[in-house]
Amino acid sequence: MNCHECGSEIESGFAFCPKCGAKQQSSCSACGYLCAPHFAFCPRCGTRLGAPADVRPAPKPPAVGVAQAPAAPSPDIGADRRTVTVLFADLCGFTGLSEQIDPEVLQALQNELFEALTSAVETFGGFVDKFIGDALLALFGAPVAHEDDPERALRAALEMLERTAQVSERWHGRIGLPLSLHIGVNTGPVVTGGFGARDAKSYSVTGDTVNTAQRLQTMAGPDEILVGPVTHRLTRHAFAYETLGAVALRGKTGSLQVHRLTGALAAPRPARGLDALGLSAPLIGRNAEIGRMRDCLALACAGTAQVVRLTGEAGIGKSRLVGDFLAAIGEDPRFAQVVVRRAACSPLGEPSYGMLAAVLGSAYGIPAGGTAEEMQERLASGLAEIGFTADELGEAMPLLFHILGMGDRDGALQHVPPDQVRRQLLSVIRTMFERRLERTPLLIVLEDLHWADAASLEALRFVLDRLDRRPLMLITTQRPDSGPERLAPGRTSVTALRLGSLSPADGQRLLAGFFGENCLPQGLRRQILARAGGNPLFIEEIVRGLIELGTLRRDGSRWQVAAGEASVDIPAGIEAMLLARIDRLPPEVRRLVHGAAVIGPRFDAELLAAISPQSGDVATGLELLCDAEIIEESAGGGTPASQSFRFVQSLLHEVVYNNLLVKRRTEIHAAIAHALERRHGESPERFEDLAVLGHHYGQSVDRAKGARYLMAAGDRASQLYANEDAIRFYRQAMAALATLGEEEPDWFAARERLADLLVPLGERAQAEEHYRALLDARPVAADAVASARILRKLGHLLWEAGKRDRAQARFTEAAGLLERAEAPIESASLLQERGHLAFRMGDYLGASEWADEALERVKALGPDMGAESSREVALVTAEALNTKAVALARRGRTREAIEAVETSVKVAEAAALMHAACRGYTNLGVLYTIVDPKLAIDVCRRGLDMARRIGDLGFQARLLANLAVAHCTFTDRCAAEGVPAAQKAIEIDRALDQRDHLPVSLLVLGQIFQCHGRPAEARRLYGEALDLAGETDEAQVLFPCYDGLATLCLDEGELAEAERHFRLAQEICESHDLDPEALVILPFLD
């Protein structure tokens, strides 16, 4: 072996180089993997390096060229939920066969057949779950996942048919009957773990996926392999099928799309990419890497050998980068003489010199599965071309056949010691490279180096260290956890390029490359990119899933998005890819990452340690997870105990979390909740702490306690006007309580508070649905005060929607309920609402009386009350003062009105009742125009800032309309600020279907356009406003409609129409005892 630092040859077993003193690689005591000097854990099996050899029993090493079969886990560990490909194989005609031959002979036949079938399964990394009579159940994806488990299962199925035919041929003389299998393969979710009683438990799986695979096997004929729809979808790029259509399987409801496997495709299509769907995009975000690779190739062509190591997670774009780089240099005249060789390592494992054999196959066109004669002919021709003499060919050919896996055909090497064979092999390989490099520069691409065999790696290191001054460049692609020492030449320059995730901007560019700039809704784009975490393959697979679900569908040359919420699920291929990374972790570290996933996408080391008493050294485990690029440290640093970490991808977090059994998740959530409660106490101050306690208790067995925390978090968020957060917490509380039954009192409280928040956010239809459902619920119906409160809120919604009569009916019904109850605050709230409605219906005297009665009710309560009651009293007071003020203003008592609204605002702000304060600012913005126009503008702006801060869209529209009037009446900023404000008000009113205020916004813009000499637009706006105002018959809205149309007609010379509209305006004033001048000065009050 060679020192990885200076390249000097050193004896096997040396811990340090005797020449330079560098610490050398060491073999893992458990699995024999060669580990870098700085590694603390083996990257293959997770064993701590330097531990005694008896810490972990070493698994039996895999046979050369065979994928290592997963060992059966203990039935007490490894229980989880995962997607697995299940294979059922059954011997055809077994019952008849058993009747015809001796049981002892039958046993021998079964054992030989099962041995052959087991070998076929294990060759492709599967796990034989059990034998059931003459049937075999095999799993691909459990206990260890691979990203291509469905493909492995089908290759194993085809191999099983071949091996059964071989067994049949050997036994035909003894049993006189042919042997054949019928096989069913299905992919889907299962639960894994220990099954059985007491000491008889063994690892297995259960679920409908298993049942379906068995039904497919029963349906299959002799030597047939029937495949379920998910398996077919994940493997159709590599296998040929006959479609049997929708088939009803025995014992199952409905039908299933079934496909008959006919064989592997001779030329498989790419599994990745969306070209088959007509979608393609240029390489995004990798220009810098291509530039550096060009520079390295230029150096190589100048005579300095280069190695470029491309490292990145699966799907990050390593192969795409290589492909685009090769295409680019193919068009660059500087590299016209470069010869390219490209090979990829197999995920099933390479035999000794397997990777080198693939390079030779690429170089000399040797077909896979070719005959020895074909190989010899191709090799002889190719080697002669680069200058090998006949004698040299004679010496090289046995060695090259050894590399190609053909063995020692002529016995030329049978007397040569193995070490001498190795030296001769290295010498031949070096000579081949030297001869090629004397003629042209050579570029070798080796993909998936993490699956390469050790013998090939040693040969490449040997060549690189001796040809470092030749025109040679090697590009390798590998995953981060494979370790850079897999190919670490001592003399050749190495450039390491780590491919990171795409930035959000590059992710947007990738989607734009597929669909165009604005084809996908922004929310869907954001959701796709958030789930994909910047991984190009994940983006493509999520898009593929959306297309297969019908969420995205092609309409001619464009793609359309189906209506409704798009659900971005985890594609099965990505799930397997990510789960495979978790399965490679040692058990104690896997338990640690499970705990981290339940804490959340972000977690801190202290909390993880608190819930992981059995996970050993948490700090070391976290370091291993960081090295495996499963987690990364969050910004901020801190002490080791307070370090914060995050999962590198949101999908990875989801896969780990969903992998856990529900029972285990529940237990971990409970442990986290208890730990957090010890940390924060039972009454945390911050709503974030309340929320996280609520989340974890809500997912534990104590859901009621979780709901209480979530309700408290919602209340705290609502007080801070973090309305979207509050809505989320109330919904989570409802979800937690729903499992306990809807009769829970907190469930009704959460629903009412949710509806209360939806109103100012403009979700009136949802709010009304919640209120109506609450009225119909038995516990609310039995509570007169609760029913009256809901009726009042529902009435408010109805009159805002312009349904005044129905609102009045609700208020009357609520009043009837309160007559039999002692509820002074609710009675006062209802009085205030009735006064507000009376004002909007033009009954200004009645409005004052209702408001005064409400104020008297709350004054009579006295100061001794709780905080919640005090807040409710403040709300009634502020709203009633507002209602009384606008009624006084309409009756000509403007000064009193201003004082009452100013008092209302003070009461509201003192109690942090910002919605009530916004109403006060809305009215002050109109009233101040009489006494101080500048102050009117300031008040409108102050109110608008508040409405935006608390997310109240309804008051934003009112204040924008008032601001537009003030700008256009008192400033020279009408066009710059007045018109946009009025247009924005209209936009909000339309979006909310705010029919009680939309005519006001339309009137304001119509008046502005009339003043600006745009009569046609003004007339259209007045007409729409009048139609809407007619629905509510509100005097203060109808009057300006008629007045505006009258003046407009007068300007246009339409005297008869002008007179008609003036007359209608006058009738409005007379019927409501209003002064027309007052309605012009104070156009709209609320």
For residue 1075, give the CATH number of its domain: 1.25.40.10
**Do residues 49 and 99 both lie within one domain?**
no
The string of DSSP codes covering 792-819 is: HHHHHHHHHTT-HHHHHHHHHHHHHHHT
Residue 325: is its pLDDT beyond 90? Answer: yes
Domain count of the fold of the chain: 5
- pLDDT: is 715 or 225 the higher one? 225
Q: Using one digit for the tens of pLDDT, what is the confidence trace for 575-585? A: 888 888 888 88
pLDDT of 576:
84
Please provide the DSSP assignment of 503-541 as one string.
Answer: PHHHHHHHHHHHH-TTSS-HHHHHHHHHHHTT-HHHHHH
Domain presence at residue 333: yes
Name the 3-class secondary structure at 308: strand
In this predicted structure, what is the pLDDT of residue 364?
Answer: 85
Q: Is 929 helix (H, G, I), strand (E, B) or coil?
A: helix
pLDDT, position 15: 64
- Taking the C-alpha atoms of residue 1003 and residue 1021, their distance in angstroms, rounded to an integer, is 7
pLDDT band of residue 877 (cuts 50, 70, 90) is very high
pLDDT 10s digits, 477-507 = 988 766 546 677 778 888 999 988 888 889 8
Are 103 and 240 contained in the same domain? yes
Interatomic CA distance for residues 764 and 1035, integer angstroms: 25
Domain around 243: 81-264
Going by C-alpha positions, the residue among 964, 930, 959, 928 that lies closest to residue 945 is 959
Residue 198 counted as domain residue:
yes
208 and 143 in a common domain:
yes
Strands 239-247, 181-195: pairing is unpaired
Q: What is the mean pLDDT of residues 775-800?
A: 84
Answer whether 0.75 is exceeded by the pTM.
no
Q: Is residue 1011 part of a domain?
A: yes
* Band of pLDDT at residue 83, cut at 50, 70 and 90: very high
Residue after which a domain boundary falls, among 512, 541, 569: 569
**Does one domain contain both 312 and 371?**
yes
Please tell me whether residues 400 and 543 are part of one structural domain: no
The answer on pLDDT for 841 being more than 90 is no
Query: Taking the C-alpha atoms of 283, 288, 294 and 296 in order, what is their torsion angle to the nearest 10 degrees?
Result: -130
Q: Are residues 357 and 398 in the same domain?
A: yes
CATH of residue 104: 3.30.70.1230
Residue 620 lies in a domain: no
In a domain, 141, yes or no: yes
Q: 14 or 793: which carries more pLDDT confidence?
A: 793
Q: Say yes or no: 47 and 141 in one domain.
A: no
Q: How confident is the model at residue 314 (pLDDT cuts 50, 70, 90)?
A: confident
Same domain, 167 and 298: no
| Residue entry with tokens 């060229």 | 65
Beta strands in 323-419, from DSSP E residues, in sequence order:
339-344
Picking from 480, 498, 516, the residue at the C-terminal end of a domain is: 498
Paired strand residues for 631 = 647
Q: Work out the average pLDDT over 71-75.
A: 52
Residue 311 lies in a domain: yes
- Residue 62 pLDDT: 36
Please report the pLDDT score of residue 36 as a whole number: 62
pLDDT at site 302: 92
CA distance 143 to 69: 10
In this structure, what CATH number is given to the domain that contains residue 316? Answer: 3.40.50.300
Q: In this model, does residue 26 exceed pLDDT 80?
A: no
φ, ψ (nearest 5 deg) of residue 472: -125, 135
Kindly state whether residue 272 falls inside one of the protein's structural domains: no
How many other C-beta atoms are found inside a 10 Å radius of the C-beta of residue 1016? Answer: 10
Last residue of a domain, one of 515, 547, 569: 569
- 669 pLDDT above the threshold of 60: yes
Q: How many CA atoms lie within 13 A of 282 on its CB side?
A: 10
- Beta-strand relationship, 135-140 and 34-35: unpaired
Give domain status of residue 1020, yes or no: yes
49 and 117 share one domain: no
* pLDDT band (50, 70, 90) for residue 639: low
Same domain, 96 and 181: yes
Do 362 and 222 belong together in one domain? no
Same domain, 300 and 386: yes
- A 10 A CB-CB count for 609 gives 20
pLDDT the model gives residue 240 = 94
Q: What confidence score (pLDDT) does residue 735 get?
A: 87
